[in-house]
Chain A
Amino acid sequence: MRAMVYRGPYRVRVEEKPDPRIEHPNDAIVRVTRAAICGSDLHLYHGMMPDTRVGHTFGHEFIGIVEEVGSSVQNLQVGDKVMVPFNIFCGSCFYCARGLYSNCHNVNANATAVGAIYGYSHTTGGYDGGQAELVRVPFADVGPSIIPDWLDDEDALLMTDALATAYFGAQLAEISEGDTVAVLGAGPIGLYAARSAWLMGAGRVVVIDQLPERLEKARTFAHAETINFNQVDDVVLEMKKQTDHLGFDAVIDAVGAEADGNMTQHLTSARFKLQGGSPIALNWAIDGARKGGVISVMGAYGPIFSSVKFGDALNKGLTLRMNQCPVKRQWPRLLEHIRSGYFKPSDIVTHRIPLEDIAEAYHLFSAKLDGCIKPVIIPDAS
C-alpha cells in the first residue's frame, strides 16, 4: 500500500509499505477514504514527541471502508463505511469501563501515562496511522461506528477528533450561563471550542490567536470576539481589560506545545526540545483567568516537564481540567447537534490534498501558508 512515512524532523514522504494484517481476533483492516492532518501531528512532525520512529505512518483522523475483519468481530462487516475515533481502546479495562476511553490501560505497552492513539509514535503505543491506503483498527467492536447515511464524509472525518475534542474541551471548562470564556488558539480545536462554548450557555466568547484569516473565521464561523496577540503589548493585561479587570471565568487552551509569542519558550521547546512543550498559551490561560476560574487544557504537551506557572494557578484557586478526548463518548450528542444544524463541521476545511503530495501538505499546514486551517488528505486521488 501507499502510506505517509516519517523520515525525520520536518521530513515526510510517501512510501510503498506492506499491507497491515489482522494481528488480533478483534482487529479490522480499514481502507481509508479520507484522512486529515491535525495540529497534534505537528508535534510529531517537528520531532518533539519522544519515540517517534523513522518509518512511522502518522494519521489519527480518518474514515474508511472495512476491508477485512478478525474472527471475533461481531459489530462490523466487510464493506461497512466507518468513522474511527482517534483513541484505540479496549472497552473493558478499569478506565474504559468508566468511560475514560482515552486513558485505556490495555492498548499502550510503551507507556501508562497516556492511552493509545493511531499514528502517534511509540509513546502512544506504536500503531501506524491512517494517512495511508489501509490501516489496522484494533478492537473493531468497540472503537469504530458506522457512518449514518445522512452525514457527509468530511463531517464524519471531523468527528474522529477535532470537533469531538473541542466539544469536550468546552465541557471541561465547566461553563455555566453567562460565563465569559476565552479560547487561546483559533485552529480547528479553538474554533469548534468557541462554537461549543455557546452551546453550554457562555455569555461572551473571545478567541485569541495571531493569524488574521483564523481570527476572521473565529468571528464568522464561531460568532466570537477576537484578540490578535501580536497587536497588543501584553495579552494577559488585555484579557483583564476586556473583563473589567476580573479575568475570564473559563479559559480553554487550544494551542499546546507549539505555542508562539515568546521566543525563549518557543525555542527551548519547539526547536531545541528541552521542554515537553512551550507553555506560553497555558501560562496566558492561568494569568488571564479570574480567581476561582477554570482552565480547560486541550492543547497537547509532551511527557517532558514544561515551565508552567503553577504558583499562579495555586494562588488563584484555579481548577485545571484536561485530557485527551474520549471521542466516542461525544458522538451521540454531537450527531444530534449536527442534525439540528448547530454545527457544520466541514466549514473549516480549507485544503484537499492527494496523499502523494503529503510533504507539501505538512509544510503548508505547519507554516500556516495559504490560509490553511484544516487540510484533508485523499489516499485514492489518482
Chain B
Amino acid sequence: MDTPMERTGHPPVYTHRKPPLPETPEQLRARIPGWGADLDPADRPSYPREIAAETGAHWDLPEPQPEHGERERSMEHGMLTPVFGTAQPLQGLSGVVRRYAYRRHSEGKAAHWLLLLAADRVDVAEHVLRSFATLRPDNPITETGIRAEVKHGSSRFGKGRSDIRHQAIDPVVNGAPWVAGALAAAWAVRRVARRAG
C-alpha cells in the first residue's frame, strides 16, 4: 500500500488531516457481516453506562440468607451481605491468617491482600500434608495435567513463542513450595530425633 508519507513526504498527523483508511464504509459493509450495525450508540446495550434497569427482582432488599457459623466479611461493608458464598469456610492455620486479614485491614491496605495471598500458600501446604493421611494423596503428576504434554506438547515449539522461555522455569517456581516443605519436614524430623537422642 502506498502510504500517505510516500505520497506527500510527511505523515498526515503533522497537519490537521486524519490518516486515510484503506477501505471505504461501503467496502467494509460488503466484506464484514454486520459492519456498522451498532454505529448508533443508542443501539449499544451498555450505553449510557447507567440506566434504569428492569431486572426481575421482586424485593427491595433481598431477604437474608441464614447464617450457619462465622462468615468473614470486608471491613468496608456496612453489614453482612444478604447473600453470600459458603463454598470453603475458614479453617486451620490459613483460616487464622485470613480471619486476621479480614478483621484487621480494609481492602485499601496492601497488607490485606498480601496476607490473603500468604494464607493461600499456607492453605496449600496444610492440604498437601493432610492429603497424605487420606486415600488420595496429592499427586503432582496427575494434578498438573502434565500428560497433556505427551499428547500435545510438541505443538508449541518452532513458532518463536516468548511464553516458552518461562514455561521451562514455571514448574521450578511453582514446585519450590514442595521442595521447601520437604526440607522443613526433614529439619523438623532431625530436631525431634536429636531431642529424643
Shortest CB–CB separation between residue A315 and chain B, in angstroms? 17
In the complex the two chains form, is A363's CB within 8 Å of B56's CB?
no
Asked whether A311 is an interface residue with its Cβ less than 8 Å from the other chain, the reply is: no
Asked whether A272 is an interface residue with its Cβ less than 8 Å from the other chain, the reply is: yes
How does the 8 Å CB contact mask read for A335-349 relative to B, with 1 for contact and 0 for none?
001001111000000
Asked whether B133 is an interface residue with its Cβ less than 8 Å from the other chain, the reply is: no
In the complex the two chains form, is A230's CB within 8 Å of B162's CB?
yes
Shortest CB–CB separation between residue B101 and chain A, in angstroms? 8
In the complex the two chains form, is A109's CB within 8 Å of B80's CB?
yes
The answer for the CA separation of A127 and B65 in the assembled complex, in Å, is 14
In the complex the two chains form, is B55's CB within 8 Å of A212's CB?
no
In the complex the two chains form, is B62's CB within 8 Å of A26's CB?
yes
Asked whether B192 is an interface residue with its Cβ less than 8 Å from the other chain, the reply is: no
Asked whether B51 is an interface residue with its Cβ less than 8 Å from the other chain, the reply is: yes
In the complex the two chains form, is A92's CB within 8 Å of B87's CB?
no
Shortest CB–CB separation between residue A230 and chain B, in angstroms? 5
- Could you say which residues of chain A place their CB within 8 Å of the CB of B63? 24-25, 72
Asked whether A31 is an interface residue with its Cβ less than 8 Å from the other chain, the reply is: no
Residue from the list B39, B84, B88 in contact with A109, Cβ < 8 A: B84
Residue from the list B12, B82, B120 in contact with A106, Cβ < 8 A: B82
Q: Which segment, of A60-68, A150-158, A185-193, A367-375, faces chain B?
A: A367-375
Residue from the list A9, A110, A177, A246 in contact with B174, Cβ < 8 A: A9
In the complex the two chains form, is B119's CB within 8 Å of A51's CB?
yes
In the complex the two chains form, is A230's CB within 8 Å of B83's CB?
no
Shortest CB–CB separation between residue B9 and chain A, in angstroms? 13
The answer for the CA separation of A111 and B140 in the assembled complex, in Å, is 32
Residues of chain A from 101 to 151 with CB closer than 8 A to chain B in the complex: 101, 105-113, 116, 122-123, 125-128, 138-139, 141-142
Shortest CB–CB separation between residue B15 and chain A, in angstroms? 11
- Could you say which residues of chain B place their CB within 8 Å of the CB of A167? 45
In the complex the two chains form, is A11's CB within 8 Å of B140's CB?
yes
The answer for the CA separation of A329 and B46 in the assembled complex, in Å, is 7
Asked whether B16 is an interface residue with its Cβ less than 8 Å from the other chain, the reply is: no
Residue from the list B19, B87, B123, B151 in contact with A244, Cβ < 8 A: B19
Residue from the list A23, A91, A101, A364 in contact with B66, Cβ < 8 A: A23
In the complex the two chains form, is B88's CB within 8 Å of A231's CB?
no
- Could you say which residues of chain B place their CB within 8 Å of the CB of A138? 83
Residues of chain B from 31 to 58 with CB closer than 8 A to chain A in the complex: 31-39, 43-47, 49-53, 55-58
In the complex the two chains form, is A359's CB within 8 Å of B84's CB?
no
In the complex the two chains form, is A98's CB within 8 Å of B50's CB?
yes
Residue from the list A26, A92, A203, A271 in contact with B173, Cβ < 8 A: A271
Chain A interface, DSSP helix/strand/loop, else mixed: loop
Count of chain B residues near A, Cβ 8 A:
104
In the complex the two chains form, is A201's CB within 8 Å of B35's CB?
yes
Residue from the list A89, A333, A363 in contact with B144, Cβ < 8 A: A363
Residues of chain B from 63 to 106 with CB closer than 8 A to chain A in the complex: 63, 65-66, 71-74, 76-77, 80-88, 94, 98, 102
- Could you say which residues of chain B place their CB within 8 Å of the CB of A1? none
The answer for the CA separation of A127 and B34 in the assembled complex, in Å, is 37
- Could you say which residues of chain A place their CB within 8 Å of the CB of B167? 367
Asked whether B145 is an interface residue with its Cβ less than 8 Å from the other chain, the reply is: yes
Select from chain B the residue with minimum beta-carbon distance to A176.
B39
Among B81, B110, B153, residue most surrounded by chain A Cβ atoms (within 10 Å): B81
Shortest CB–CB separation between residue A130 and chain B, in angstroms? 13
In the complex the two chains form, is A8's CB within 8 Å of B56's CB?
no
Decide yes or no: A96 and B116 within 8 Å by CB, A109-B84, A128-B85 being known contacts. no
In the complex the two chains form, is B88's CB within 8 Å of A364's CB?
no
Decide yes or no: A100 and B81 within 8 Å by CB, A13-B143, A50-B117, A52-B120 being known contacts. no
Shortest CB–CB separation between residue A305 and chain B, in angstroms? 7
In the complex the two chains form, is A244's CB within 8 Å of B82's CB?
no
In the complex the two chains form, is B107's CB within 8 Å of A112's CB?
yes
Residue from the list B18, B36, B146 in contact with A201, Cβ < 8 A: B36
In the complex the two chains form, is A11's CB within 8 Å of B143's CB?
yes
Residue from the list A52, A212, A330 in contact with B45, Cβ < 8 A: A330
Select from chain A the residue with minimum beta-carbon distance to B160.
A230
The answer for the CA separation of A100 and B59 in the assembled complex, in Å, is 17
The answer for the CA separation of A24 and B80 in the assembled complex, in Å, is 14
- Could you say which residues of chain A place their CB within 8 Å of the CB of B114? 304
Shortest CB–CB separation between residue A357 and chain B, in angstroms? 8
How does the 8 Å CB contact mask read for B7-28 relative to A, with 1 for contact and 0 for none?
0000111000011011101001
Leading 7 A-B pairs by shortest Cβ distance? A91-B57, A126-B85, A342-B34, A363-B145, A91-B55, A359-B145, A370-B152
Q: What residues of chain A have their CB less than 8 Å away from a CB belonging to chain B?
A: 7-13, 23-26, 47, 50-57, 72, 74-75, 88-92, 96-101, 105-113, 116, 122-123, 125-128, 138-139, 141-142, 167-168, 171-172, 176-178, 180, 198-201, 203-204, 210-212, 223, 230-231, 243-246, 260-261, 263, 266-267, 271-273, 276, 302-305, 326, 329-330, 332-334, 337, 340-343, 358-364, 367-371
A-B contact pairs, 13 of them (CB 8 A): A9-B174, A11-B138, A51-B119, A51-B120, A53-B123, A55-B88, A74-B58, A142-B55, A177-B25, A260-B166, A303-B107, A368-B161, A371-B155
Given contacts A10-B170, A47-B120, A303-B113, 17 further A-B contacts (CB under 8 A): A13-B142, A50-B120, A53-B87, A55-B127, A90-B83, A97-B52, A106-B81, A123-B116, A198-B32, A199-B35, A199-B36, A244-B19, A360-B145, A363-B146, A364-B145, A367-B148, A369-B152
